[in-house]
Amino acid sequence: MADSNTIRLRVFSLNCWGIRYLSKHCRERYAMIGELLSREEHDIVLLQEVWSEKDFLCLKRKLSSTHPHSHYFKSGVIGSGMATFSRHRIHDAFLYRYSLNGYPYMAHHGDWFGGKAVGMVILNIGRLAAHVYVTHLHAEYCREKDSYLPHRVVQAWELQQFIRHTSSGADLVILAGDLNLHPQDLGNRLLRTYTGLRDSYTETAKFDGCEDGITLIADNPFINPKELCPFEKGIRIDYILYKGSGRVSIQCESLSTTKGSVPDHPFPYSDHEALSADLQLGEQDCALAELVDIVTEARTEVKVGLYCAERMRYTAARTGVMGMALLLLELAIAAVPWLALRADQPFPRASFYLLGVLCFAILITTFLLYIFYTMEVKALQGAEDQMRLAVGSLQERLRGFPLAQPLNRLCRPLDGQDPCPLEPEE
């Protein structure tokens, strides 16, 4: 705390790449991360890809003196991988799991099994209510042919909805995590513009880190440079975003990232770089953003994904019908010897059973695919409907019609409340 009117807050974020028995030097890197966090004493720590609860409990024991409050978000088959540590007491926690998160048959990517979600904790910092969010969106495996783009846009849409609908009573909002979105990607613009969240990298007065703020660098020994093409130096996909309220504003005084190697250690903390932001809380200064074009673009992208999902569902249904027709034809052929008056030829049992198993396999596979694509279609339709309503309300607001419930509260102190609530509690 600097004085009676300002509070300084240190926020840390890192994708730990903590897959037990698969990630390289996992145990040693967790020990390094624990030492770093104990030494730096950040106010809020937001971690991703802590896939093992045992690793979380190990960090919890190590940070018990510096960060006595913590929460581990559980989701999906192997968990959400998200954890929060705080110097301030956690009063509430909640998890929202995204409706779309890849495909179960793309097992080598693994996102579907991870239960990608957004986790929220509510903290009291002095007399301020802080809503802190941590998330990890679906990975981008091929930028040129990104089949997961509609899923990531829907995740960004649900993320901004979740933040807006749960942060109405917050004095300050912080979101950190691996968004798997480049700064100018559609999902990133949708998230920041709709929520009013500000990027600490573009807003900071002082930056110390990798060139252009990249957080997935080619020089990292855990990274295959070919996976970063066409970005030779690396990409920026990890963020610390923030915003104030009608009572409180936030300024980013400084932002730093790790730079691959760690002094006195043979390898870095993770395949991602860690972010550390120093935030200063002061008087409010807010602005209203234009949203119609970005939401319309997001809606168009979701419509493209919906069209593809409907075609895949149709293909699965047509293949299932063909499998059923083939099965019926096989049964009809098998019935001919039984109906004939003279059946001198032996019945080919082996071929009959083999073809029957093939038909059943086709039917079961297409049935499961049809169910999955139906779920995907419904989720995309739901997001598209919500975006359509949002575009309509935004257009009405632009034309001058008042909304029943504005997206952002008016930028003025509430009646009966002090205009400057930043003084620490006695």
Chain center to CA of 229: 22
Length of the chain: 426
Q: Is 416 left (phi over 0), alpha (psi -120 to 50) or beta?
A: left
Q: 153 is written with which tokens?
A: 């846009």
Radius of gyration of the chain (CA): 26
Q: 78 is written with which tokens?
A: 């192997």
- Contact between 365 and 104 under an 8 Å Cβ cutoff? The reply is no
Q: How far is 386 from 384, CA to CA, in rounded Å?
A: 5
Amino acid at 316: A
Amino acid at 172: L
- Contact between 248 and 241 under an 8 Å Cβ cutoff? The reply is no
| Helices and strands in the chain: count of H runs, count of E runs | 8, 15
Active site residue 272: yes
Chain center to CA of 202: 21
Catalytic residue among 67, 88, 136, 272: 272
Q: How far is 379 from 304, CA to CA, in rounded Å?
A: 13
Q: Is 276 left (phi over 0), alpha (psi -120 to 50) or beta?
A: beta
Q: 378 is written with which tokens?
A: 């419904």
Residue 336: φ, ψ to 5°: -60, -50
Residue 134: φ, ψ to 5°: -130, 140
- Contact between 149 and 185 under an 8 Å Cβ cutoff? The reply is no
Q: What would the DSSP string read from start to end of 100-158?
A: ----TT-TTT-HHHHT-EEEEEEEEETTEEEEEEEEEPPP-S-STT-TTHHHHHHHHHH
Could you list the active site residues? 272
